[in-house]
Amino acid sequence: MDAKKQPSLQVDYLIIGRGAAGLLAAARLQAYGKVAIVSKGGSNDSNTWVAQGGIAGVLSDDDSIEAHVQDTLAAGAGLCREAVVREVIGRGSKIIRELIEIGASFDTHRGELHLTREGGHSRRRIAHAQDATGRAIAEALQLQLQGDIIHLADHAAIDLITNYHIGDYSGSNRCLGAYLLNNEGQVLTVAARFTILATGGAGKVYMYTSNPHGASGDGIAMAWRAGCPIANMEFIQFHPTCLFHRDGSNLLLSEALRGEGAYITDARGRRFTFDYDTRGELAPRDIVARAIDHEMKKQGVDCMYLDARHLGADKIRRQFPNIQQRLQQLNLDLLHMPIPIVPAAHYTCGGINTDVAGRTAIEHLYAIGETACSGLHGANRLASNSLLECLVMADCCARRILAQTPPALRPLPTWDDSGVEPETERIPIKQNWDEIRAIMSHYVGIVRSNERLRRARRRLFVIQQEIADYFWKYPVSRDLIELRNLAHVAELIIRSAQQRHESRGLHFSTDYPERLPRAEDTILYPSQSDGP
């Protein structure tokens, strides 16, 4: 590609990702400078858009901030940063009421917010919009964006640009912008005073996931390559109740179903979760997911079942119309049959190491929402705290940025694709993608062991070498970008799991089944060796 013809752009605020975190950050910053917001797909290409259950907050007289804090700390298994927990939850009700003011259509009952309950919560505190809460929030936030915001849809972020990246080692590492690939194959060089990663999680690193296709850990991988420490990547939350069906493999059956009384059973109809925890179906997700996984292995079957028939047609049609419609399209029906389920990768509790405002180790680079590890979730996320974290972090991030003196923009080199060769075939990309997901699902899933992790790391090392050779030899593409990021994220999960010699929260090891008396974060630094 001729460098003179490569497009470029200068903005004050570059926001990569347009879920709840990215949208609120854009809304907060738009009055103070030029904002560009990037998405790999269209306006609905985010985990926020498909989020079903709701957003947690203290919204009733029989609840309290302290109760919500204690529920969060208990679910986090000793690894939550308590100051962060208190700040996020303390801001929760204000954020939710702001959403209502700007038009988010939460369900009501007799003029009051209808609150549901989910696993790990001691109170009903989940505000929801039927079973499409994320979409209601995203639509309300999108309406707050003004016409002069630059919307870069169908753009995939390739890499961050730092002063170290361009050979300037004077002072600390600073983010200067990013390279983006548009859907025509052109690389756009974006110079930005501040860059915000709001790219979501990495569920696609596993075979079964509730996440949309784009959840390939892009922000985490880019920040790692740029020099950011990564925290607690071993804690991948598997949602207990994802549909087990070839044609609906990412359909989540909301935890709110269990909050309203749905049962988890085996094929004989036995409610086995009480064998593992006295709270049964309402135990935290890590416990319920392990119970399902254990029963599947013990019984030698492919799935368990979610039975909501006893909830009645009125409740199902009123609160879960979208789930019911999707199931009916697959010839399944909540009203008349138990639904086959399997645990699926759902949420990345670890990520880029940040504070509650999203500040990273690189100046002028921020990470918010699921791509960050703020310390709110610890070793296991409490249900419906994720949308809350996205919004509070976005608000705090915007405040932090606006309190600073903006750095100067500087000219950046265009993307160097000299020496690349035309692609002859694309099958290596698909093959590596399938291999990574199989390795992670079989060796680094709900239950791990030292030997499984060693096997995974050895196999992944070979795949990473193949990807690196391919990346620098052939033209960059979205599939190749995502594959590269997926491989880096897989490596980070494996290495983090190898460093944790205990079982805690979402990480369960057969070699270290007990919890250590002291909880410590797993922090990986880019300077560390990444050999097999």
Amino acid at 70: Q
Containing structural domain, residue 247: 238-345
Dist. CA 513–CA 13, nearest whole Å: 46
Q: Is residue 182 part of a domain?
A: no
Task: Answer with the one of 345, 365, 388 that is the final residue of a domain.
Answer: 345
Residue numbers annotated as active site: 285
Q: Is residue 503 part of a domain?
A: yes
Q: Where are the beta strands (DSSP E) in 97-198?
A: 108-109, 112-113, 115-116, 126-127, 150-152, 155-162, 175-182, 187-197
The verdict on 333 and 242 lying in the same domain is yes
Dist. CA 50–CA 215, nearest whole Å: 12
Starting at the edge strand found earlier in the chain, the sheet holding 351-353 runs: 372-373, 351-353, 230-231, 523-524
Q: Is residue 124 part of a domain?
A: no
Is residue 338 within 8 A of residue 255, CB to CB? The reply is: no
The DSSP call for residue 183 is T
pLDDT values of the chain reduced to their tens digit, one per residue, 532 residues: 444 467 999 999 999 999 999 999 999 999 999 999 999 987 677 778 777 778 999 999 899 999 999 999 999 999 999 999 999 999 999 999 999 999 888 988 888 889 888 878 998 999 998 878 889 999 999 999 988 999 999 999 999 999 999 998 888 999 999 999 999 999 999 999 999 999 999 999 998 888 888 899 999 999 999 999 999 999 999 989 999 987 766 788 988 899 899 999 999 999 999 999 999 998 878 889 889 999 998 999 999 999 999 999 999 999 999 899 999 999 999 999 999 999 999 999 999 999 999 999 999 999 999 999 999 999 999 988 999 999 999 999 999 999 999 999 999 999 988 878 887 777 888 999 999 999 999 999 999 999 999 999 999 999 999 999 999 888 899 999 999 999 999 999 999 999 999 999 999 999 999 999 999 999 999 976 555 6
Confidence (pLDDT) at 530: 57
Q: Is residue 477 part of a domain?
A: yes
Q: How many CA atoms lie within 13 A of 449 on its CB side?
A: 6
Q: Is residue 134 part of a domain?
A: no
Task: Answer with the one of 288, 321, 345 that is the final residue of a domain.
Answer: 345
Task: Answer with the one of 315, 345, 375 that is the final residue of a domain.
Answer: 345
CATH of the domain at 295: 3.90.700.10
Under DSSP, is residue 229 helix (H, G, I), strand (E, B) or coil? coil
Q: Is residue 252 part of a domain?
A: yes
CATH of the domain at 440: 1.20.58.100
Is residue 189 within 8 A of residue 177, CB to CB? The reply is: yes
Phi, psi of 107 (to 5 degrees): -70, 145
Q: Is residue 317 part of a domain?
A: yes
Our count of domains for the chain comes to 2
Q: Is residue 164 part of a domain?
A: no
Angstrom distances, CA of residue 186 to CA of 151, 177, 402: 16, 17, 32
Q: Which of 28, 34, 27 is nearest to 13 (CA)?
A: 34
The DSSP call for residue 244 is -
